[in-house]
Amino acid sequence: MIKSLGLNETERLVRDSVTDCVSDIAGAGGTARAQGHGALSSLAKLGVLAAPLSENLGGMGEGLGTAMLVLEPLGRKALVTPYVEKICVPAAVAEFYPGHEDLRKHLESAANAGPGAVMAWVEAGRGWNRIPKSTTARREADAWRLEGRKSLVRWGDQAAAFIVTSKVDDEPALFLVAADLEGVEIKSYPSGDGRVMSDIVFHNVQLPNNSRMDDGNARQVIEYALDAGSALSLAEAVGLMDGSLEMTVDYLKTREQFGTALSKMQVLQHRLVEMYASTECAWSLAHEAASSLARDVPPKSRACAVSRAKAYIGRMGRFVGQEALQMHGAIGMTEEYPLGRYLQRLTAIDLDYGDSDWHLSRLSNVMQEID
Amino acid sequence: MERLDSILNSHDAIAFRDRVKRLLVDHLPKHIRIQVEQEKMDLSKEDQRTWHKILRAHGLACPSWPVEYGGPGLADHELYILEREFALGGAPRPMIYGVTMLGPALIAHGTPEQQQRFLPGILEGDTFWCQGFSETNAGSDLASLKCAVRREGDEYVINGHKMWTSEGHIADWMFGIFRTDSSGRKQQGITFLLLDMRSPGVSVQPIQTFDGTGIEINQVFFDNVRVPVDQRIGDEGAGWDIAKSVLTAERFGNAEVSRSIASLERLKDYCRATSLDGRPLIQDPIIARRLVELEISLQAVEQTELRFLFHAGDELGAEAALLKLRGTEVQNAILAAATDLRGPSASLLLDEDHPGASAEYTSASHALKAHMNYRKTMIYGGSSEVQRNILAKGALGL
C-alpha cells in the first residue's frame, strides 16, 4: 500500500521482473523452504540475484543498495531465502577484497542459486557482539590453525564455505573456511521462519595460507558487512509489512460481522492507518540505511542510519505483523493461511543482526561518545 | 533512488543555505530568537511584523509565492532549506494566515483586482489576517458550519459566530467560510469571504487557555456584518473546495519536522549541560535511550517527508496526511521529554516577569508551557483522528 517506492526507470524494471518471477511460486504451495529455494532458482535464471554485485560479477554496479529491488518483492510474498546471507554480506566483504578469488567464486555460485558462503560470527554467550573473542587462529608454518565455535550460523547447513571472524594475536581477523575441511563439525537446527541455523565447531582445523582475507582491517570490514546485512534485511521487512497490511485490508473488506464489513468500522480503519503510516516510514528509513552503505559515507554516520532503521523497523515490523494477525482473528492463527509466515519472518528479522534493543544501545553509545 | 544529498548539497544549494544562515546571524533580533527558542509559537503582532519586514527587505518574504506576485520564486529544495535553516536558527514561523494560507489561495482563486487589492498588504507585512473556519458545532466536521450569510444587493450580511479563531484579537482582516445556502449537501452552499475586522457588528471575545501562554484563540461574533460582494473569493457556494486547498496548502512544514529537529537539539544541549549527581544527564543510559528513540521517530518522519517531496512528485495526495499525524506526535513527545527532564522544577508555571525566578525555574516553566500549548498541534488543522480518516479513505481505499 506504499504510494511510491521512489525508484527510477531501471530500478522499476528490475523490481517488476522480480515481482513477476516470484508471484507464481508464492501461490503454488509447498513448504516455506521449498518456496524459497524455488524463488532463488527462478531469480538466478533471470540473472537478477547478482544485481548488487559489481559489474564484473554480473551485477548492476550501483552498489549494495540495489539488493532492495530483490528483497522487497521477496518480502511482499513472504519468500524466505538466504539472499542477505549469501549475496549481500559476502558482497560487502568483497568490496574490501575484490581480488580474493575464492570469495569471488562463492559469490558467483550464490548468484546462480548455488551453495555460496555465509558469515559465521556469533559466539555463544556474547549476544550480538560483533568482535570475535573465543574463536582463534594461529600461524603454523605455511598454514593457519583455527580453533573455536560459532553459534547459530544462518543457512549454515547449505553453505560451501564460511567467512569466519576470528582472533589472531588479540586482533580481529577474517578467514574463508571451506565447509568440507577436516575438523569442521556442523550441527543444525530449524528456526521459526523456516530457516536452518548451524552451530559450527572448528577442531584445530588446518587452513591454507591464503585463507586469511584481511590485512589488519577486519574490524572495519566486519562492521561494514554486518551493517550491510542489517540494513538490507530491512527491505525484505518492509515488503513483509506492506504485504501483511494489504492482506489485512483485503480481508477486512470481505469479512462481515454485526451486519457490516469490518473495513467500515472506524476503530479498525484507524488501526490499519497506524500500520500504513509505520510502513511508509519504514521504507523511508530502510532506504536511508541502504544509501548509507555507499563507501564514501563515514562509518559513524552509517552506523547511526543503519541502527535507527533497524531499531524502528524491528519494532514496527512486528507491530504490523501482530496487528494484521489480531485483525484477521482466528483464521490468521492457522498454518494454511499465509499470514503466520509473515509474522514469523518479521519477528526473525528483528531478532537478527542485533535486535532493536541492541541497536538502540549502539545509538546511545554513539550519542554519548560525541560528548 | 538518487541520493537526496546531491540535490540539497549542490553548489547553488550550499550558496543559498549560506545566504539564509547569514541573514539569521546578521538580522534576526535577539529578543525574537529567544522567544522562539523557548518554543513560543504565537509571537506578538509587533514581533511577527518586525521579522516579516526584515525578510521583505532581503527578498525572502512570502517564500512560496511566485515572482510575479512579489515572492522570491524559490525552487522546492530552496524552500526546504529555508524552512530548515529558519527553524535551526530560531527564526519565527511565517505569518501563517496571510503568507502561507490566504496568499496562495488568492493567487489560485482570486480575480486580478482582488490580488492587487490584498496581496501587497500581506507581502509588505502590513495586513494581519486570521482564519474564520471552525464553529462551536463545526470542528472536525467542518462542513456542517452554520454561520449564515444572506445576499442584499451588492453586499453579504453575516450573522452568527466563528470559534477557536487564532490571532483573531490582533487580526486586521479575516478570511472565512460562511453558509449561503443550506438546501443541498452540506459541502455545497459554503462561500469564501474576506472581511475587515473593524466592520460594524464584529466583536471578538478572547478565550483564555489553560497552558499559561496567554491569549491565542478567540470567539468572533457577527451581528449584521456587511461585506461587499467583491470580497468574495471564487463563486458563491464554491467555498468548500477553496477552504480545503487552504488547509492543504502547507506542503512544507505542517509536520514541523524542522522545528522538532531544533527542539530535540536544544533538549540534547540541555542534557549535556545539566548535571545530575555530578554526571551529565546525557550519560544516564535511560535518558540517552529516550533521546535516541525520539531521534528515530523524528528521522522516520523526516525521511518520509523528503521521499514524498522529492520522489513522489505530483503523485502526492492523501499520503501527506501521515506527515502531520506522525510529525505532531513526535513533536509532542519531544516537548514532553523537555519537561520531564527538568527534574523537580518540571511542574513550575511562572508569569514571564515572576520576581526572583532563577534561570532554571524560568526555563522549566517555558518547557511546561510549550508541552501543554503544543497539544494543540494534534488538534488544529485537522486533528490526528481526521488525518487517520483521510488516510483510511485516500491511501487505503476504505
pLDDT in tens, A240-276: 999 999 999 999 999 999 999 999 999 999 999 999 9
Q: How far is B391 from chain A (nearest CA, A)?
A: 6
Q: What is the C-alpha to C-alpha distance for residues B398 and B393, in angstroms, rounded to an integer?
A: 5
Report the SS3 class of residue A209: helix
Residue B186's alpha-carbon distances to A42, B189, B199, in angstroms, are 56, 7, 28
Q: What is the C-alpha to C-alpha distance for residues A5 and B70, in angstroms, rounded to an integer?
A: 36
Residue B257's alpha-carbon distances to A268, A278, B293, B294, B305, in angstroms, are 28, 16, 15, 12, 9
Of A46, A45, A89, the C-alpha closest to A67 is A89
Q: What is the reported pLDDT for B248?
A: 77
Note the ipTM here. Answer: 0.94
- CA dihedral in degrees (B286, B290, B292, B295; nearest 10)? -170
**Residues facing B206 on adjacent strands:** B218
Between B8 and B82, whose confidence is greater? B82
CB-nearest partner of B398 from A269, A277, A367: A269
Q: Does A28 have pLDDT greater than 80?
A: no
Q: What is the reported pLDDT for A146?
A: 98
Q: What is the C-alpha to C-alpha distance for residues A180 and A167, in angstroms, rounded to an integer?
A: 22
Report the SS3 class of residue A118: strand
Q: What is the C-alpha to C-alpha distance for residues A198 and A196, in angstroms, rounded to an integer?
A: 7
Q: Does A297 have pLDDT greater than 60?
A: yes
Which residue of the set B250, B256, B302, B305 is catalytic?
B250
* β-strand pairing of A196-208 with A184-190: antiparallel
Q: Which residues of A81-90 are buried (b: 16+ CB within 10 A; e: fewer)?
A: bbbbbbbbbb
- pLDDT for B340-373, tens place per residue? 999 999 999 999 889 999 999 999 999 999 999 9
Report the SS3 class of residue B251: coil
Report the SS3 class of residue A17: helix
- pLDDT for A208-236, tens place per residue? 999 999 999 999 999 999 999 999 999 99
CB-nearest partner of A270 from B2, B326, B388: B388
* Mean pLDDT value across chain B: 94
Q: What is the C-alpha to C-alpha distance for residues B63 and B81, in angstroms, rounded to an integer?
A: 11
**Helix spans in A214-355 (H):** 218-254, 266-291, 299-328, 339-350
Q: How far is A319 from chain B (nearest CA, A)?
A: 15
B280 touches chain A (CB under 8 A): yes
Q: Does B146 have pLDDT greater than 80?
A: yes
Q: What is the reported pLDDT for A289?
A: 98
Q: Does A158 have pLDDT greater than 70?
A: yes
- Cβ of A284 within 8 Å of Cβ of B391? The answer is no
- Cβ of B389 within 8 Å of Cβ of A285? The answer is no
Q: Does B327 have pLDDT greater than 90?
A: yes
Q: What is the C-alpha to C-alpha distance for residues A121 and A116, in angstroms, rounded to an integer?
A: 16
Residues 6 or more apart whose CB falls under 8 angstroms from that of B153 comprise none
Do B66 and B75 meet the contact criterion of CB atoms below 8 Å apart? no
- pLDDT for B159-180, tens place per residue? 999 999 999 999 999 999 999 9
Q: Work out the number of other CB atoms within 10 angstroms of the CB of residue B286.
A: 7
Q: How far is A273 from chain B (nearest CA, A)?
A: 6
Q: What is the C-alpha to C-alpha distance for residues B269 and B263, in angstroms, rounded to an integer?
A: 10
Q: What is the DSSP letter of B236?
A: T
- Cβ of A312 within 8 Å of Cβ of B283? The answer is no
- Catalytic status, residue B305: no
Q: How far is B273 from chain A (nearest CA, A)?
A: 10
Domains, chain A, in order of start with CATH, read 9-115 (1.10.540), 118-211 (2.40.110.10), 218-370 (1.20.140.10)
- Contacts by A84-87, CB closer than 8 A, 24 or more apart: A84/A229, A84/A232, A84/A233, A84/A236, A85/A118, A85/A119, A85/A154, A85/A155, A85/A229, A86/A110, A86/A116, A86/A117, A86/A118, A86/A155, A86/A159, A87/A49, A87/A50, A87/A52, A87/A53, A87/A111, A87/A116
Do B225 and B178 meet the contact criterion of CB atoms below 8 Å apart? no
Q: What is the reported pLDDT for B309?
A: 82
Match 513448504 to its residue by C-alpha cell: A31
Rg (CA), chain A: 21
Q: Does B7 have pLDDT greater than 60?
A: yes
Do A210 and A143 meet the contact criterion of CB atoms below 8 Å apart? no
Domain boundaries, chain B: 4-94, 129-247, 257-394
Residues 6 or more apart whose CB falls under 8 angstroms from that of A126 comprise A133, A134
Residue type, A238: V
Q: What is the reported pLDDT for B231?
A: 98
Q: Does B312 have pLDDT greater than 70?
A: no
CB-nearest partner of A280 from B291, B296, B322: B322
Of A34, A33, A64, the C-alpha closest to A50 is A64
Q: What is the reported pLDDT for B5?
A: 73
In chain B, the residue whose alpha carbon lies closest to the alpha carbon of A311 is: B296
In chain B, the residue whose alpha carbon lies closest to the alpha carbon of A292 is: B3
- Cβ of A249 within 8 Å of Cβ of B391? The answer is no
CATH topology assigned to domain B129-247: Butyryl-CoA Dehydrogenase, subunit A; domain 2 (2.40.110)
Q: What is the reported pLDDT for B59?
A: 96
* Mean pLDDT value across chain A: 96
Beta strands in A117-269 (DSSP E): 117-120, 136-140, 143-154, 161-168, 171-178, 184-190, 196-208, 256-257, 260-261
Q: What is the reported pLDDT for B252?
A: 53
Q: What is the C-alpha to C-alpha distance for residues B169 and B36, in angstroms, rounded to an integer?
A: 21
Instruction: For chain B, give the number of residues.
Output: 398
**Percent of chain A residues topping a pLDDT of 70:** 99
- Cβ of B296 within 8 Å of Cβ of A371? The answer is no
Q: What is the C-alpha to C-alpha distance for residues B297 and B333, in angstroms, rounded to an integer?
A: 9
Q: Work out the number of other CB atoms within 10 angstroms of the CB of residue B249.
A: 18
- pLDDT for A317-364, tens place per residue? 999 999 999 999 999 999 999 999 999 999 999 999 999 999 999 999
Do B147 and B179 meet the contact criterion of CB atoms below 8 Å apart? yes
Q: What is the reported pLDDT for A128?
A: 97
Residues 6 or more apart whose CB falls under 8 angstroms from that of A258 comprise none
B326 touches chain A (CB under 8 A): yes
- Cβ of A284 within 8 Å of Cβ of B304? The answer is yes
Q: What is the reported pLDDT for B319?
A: 85
| A→B interface, C-beta within 8 Å | 1, 3-4, 6-8, 11, 65, 68, 249, 253, 263-264, 266, 269-270, 272-274, 276-277, 280-285, 287-288, 291, 294, 308, 311-312, 360-361, 363-364, 367-368, 371
* The CATH classification of domain B257-394, taken from the options 3.40.50.300, 3.30.530.20, 3.40.50.1100, 1.20.140.10: 1.20.140.10
Match 572495519 to its residue by C-alpha cell: A220
- Provide, as residue numbers in chain A, all residues whose Cβ is less than 8 Å from the Cβ of B319: 3, 280
- Provide, as residue numbers in chain B, all residues whose Cβ is less than 8 Å from the Cβ of A269: 388-389, 392, 396, 398
At residue B207, φ and ψ (nearest 5 deg) are -115, 125
